[in-house]
A and B are shown apart, each in its own frame.
Chain A
């Protein structure tokens, strides 16, 4: 069973639009960690955020914000006022406590922001 689902394969927006990238996860662990990574065209995965399962506070960092809801097993990522430089593939990932520390990645969402 897929443990991290990013249902949106591709999203296209115009600059200054807000966009939300969805992530739904599945785990039986009570302790786990969620991550978002960005992979720009250059190819290198860039760490964006980490959340542990006991911290459901939403987080905002500049134009980026994250909404973690355990009730729906979701960890969604919103970019406000998108810019062309936000064009990339975004990956959501899960690290389960019982399964060790390897990241389980979703398939990724390709975001294209046009000017």
Chain B
């Protein structure tokens, strides 16, 4: 079956602009995660959605970052007023359930803020 898909694959934006990154999880997976991978910080958790529960936003680095998940499926990560330190690969993952289940990752969106 289809894996996790993300779009765009690459995004170049100017400092101060807003960007939206999209994630389509594996069909039937109730849990969805966003992570960020950068050279300096490694792989960092950002936010987690599980079914209709309130999302776990504990990893979001600032209030410029937000995410939503519509209809329990597609998710959008929004970064407002982008800064150069936001440059990274943003990874989306989904899992069948939450705790303890393996997470399957998408190919990522490489964000470059100039």
Contact = CB atoms under 8 A, between A and B. Distances in A.
B56 interface: yes
Given A102-B33, A108-B42, A97 B108 contact: no
B104 A102 contact: no
Interface string B42-60: 1101001010000010110
Contacts of A33: 99-100
Interface in A33-63: 33, 35, 37, 42-47, 50, 52
Contacts of A108: 42-43
Contacts of B77: none
Contacts, number: 63
Contacts of A50: 100-102
A95 interface: yes
Nearest to B105: A45
Contacts of B91: 45
B107 A43 contact: yes
Contact of B43 (A42, A101, A105): A105
22 contacts: A33-B100, A35-B102, A43-B89, A44-B106, A45-B91, A46-B105, A47-B103, A47-B105, A52-B100, A97-B99, A101-B33, A101-B48, A101-B95, A101-B98, A101-B100, A101-B101, A102-B45, A102-B59, A103-B33, A103-B45, A105-B42, A108-B42
A101 B99 contact: yes
A97 B43 CA distance: 19
Contacts of A52: 100
Q: Which of B43, B45, B101 has the most CB of A within 10 A?
A: B43
Interface residues of A, number: 24
B103 A103 contact: yes
Interface in A62-115: 91, 93, 95, 97, 100-108
A95 B42 contact: no
B67 interface: no
B88 interface: no
A101 B31 contact: yes
